[in-house]
Amino acid sequence: MYGPDVTFLGVERCTVAQPETYADADVVIVGAPFDGGTSHRPGTRFGPAAMRQACYLPHDGSRPSLALRVDALQDLTVYDAGDVEMFAGDIERSLGALESAVHAVASAGAIPIILGGDHTIALPDATGVARHLGFGRVSLVHFDAHADTGDVEFGSLYGHGQPMRRLIDSGAVRGDRFLQIGLRGYWPGPDTLTWMAAQRMRSYEMTEIVARGLDHCLTDAFAIAVDECDGVFLSVDVDVVDPGMAPGTGTPEPGGLTARQLLDAVRRCCYELPVVGVDIVEVSPPYDHAEITAYLGNRVVLEALSAIARRRRDAADGTRWDPTQPLLDAR
């Protein structure tokens, strides 16, 4: 909808309304250029275009991963369906259109990767996947500075501070299979936290993460995520990263993860878990500096794709990726 009509790093195009154009897809990238749910600084409608283009290498549909020894854009069949039409002035119509698009991709057997957009889109994203796999059968791993479990904000049930409550209220995702990583700061208040506890959510605040270590917290979360569920939806808000490393976002909160920690965590999620959908949200280019946040968003997508490709290769070959292997071994 905004900016040049280009695909993610030059991958082939497809059209959501024409399933035959992605019948062989492993992954379909979908743009969700929506910021009608923001509570503070807008601009995430420009996020999908920024993440598609944020790379200094040729946009040739190839990205070999040094760490994982795969080329996800070649080893997987990846298409870009372009942007869903999302008018910021009509939130319900826009969310409905996105849910339909994500459901179509999931129903075709592909993993949808959605480029946001503000975090309001997590509601249609995870719901679209759950409509295919079954309500209550998809767990959610959520990286964010904020819980996004508000109820009514500015007189609306929909907004970027409320999608997780709406997902649980609808039954699309179980509260006791909802894992949140990186929370911090001064919101939400006690009443919302009490509601979250009643849903049996598991939220890892940054103080706990620092005290216990991110890897330990992820291991705990992964055990819950795969229990009694058929797939995991991964939702990544870039404000989980400290704003010194991701300034281009609407609600920056100091004291977050480093960019390195987020990339490693996304890699672990998509390598170790049966991921059935991913969204990356809250990249707001108007507040970015030198495209720092857009580059991070782009690399989050590439880490997810590369880990999915590596997981599938290891499953097919009976091997396992060794992160301690020196880069040039066996060359």
Q: What six digits make up the tokens of 233?
A: 């939806």
Q: What letter represents residue 104's amino acid?
A: A
pLDDT band at 243 (very low <50, low <70, confident <90, very high): very high
Q: Which residues of 222-233 are buried (b: 16+ CB within 10 A; e: fewer)?
A: bebbbeebebbb
Residue 112, helix vs strand vs coil? strand
Across 122-142, average pLDDT: 98
Name the nearest CA neighbour of 29 among 302, 315, 312.
302
Is pTM beyond 0.95? Reply is yes
pLDDT band at 39 (very low <50, low <70, confident <90, very high): very high
pLDDT band at 25 (very low <50, low <70, confident <90, very high): very high
> What is the pLDDT, as a whole number, of residue 3?
82
Residues 259-311 have pLDDT tens digits of 999 999 999 999 999 999 999 999 999 999 999 999 999 999 999 999 999 99
pLDDT band at 155 (very low <50, low <70, confident <90, very high): confident
Burial of 95 (0-12, 13-18, 19+ CB in 10 A): buried
Q: In whole angstroms, what is the distance from residue 267 CA to residue 277 CA?
A: 14
DSSP string, 189-246: -HHHHHHHHHTT-EEEEHHHHHHH-HHHHHHHHHHHHTTT-SEEEEEEEGGGB-TTT-
Find the range with the poorest average confidence among 51-55, 79-83, 154-158.
154-158
* Tokens 């490393």 found at: 245
> What is the pLDDT, as a whole number, of residue 153?
84
Do you know the residue count of the chain? 331
Name the nearest CA neighbour of 218 among 149, 271, 173.
271
Find the range with the poorest average confidence among 39-53, 150-164, 169-183, 193-207.
150-164
Question: In this model, does residue 186 exceed pLDDT 90?
Answer: yes
Residue 183's H or E segment, with its range, is: strand 178-183
> What is the pLDDT, as a whole number, of residue 216?
98
Q: What six digits make up the tokens of 143?
A: 């990286």
Q: In whole angstroms, what is the distance from residue 241 CA to residue 82 CA?
A: 27
277 contacts 233 by C-beta, under 8 angstroms = yes
Residues 61-107 have pLDDT tens digits of 999 999 999 999 999 999 999 999 999 889 999 999 999 999 999 99
* Tokens 């992820």 found at: 218
> What is the pLDDT, as a whole number, of residue 88?
86
pLDDT band at 161 (very low <50, low <70, confident <90, very high): very high
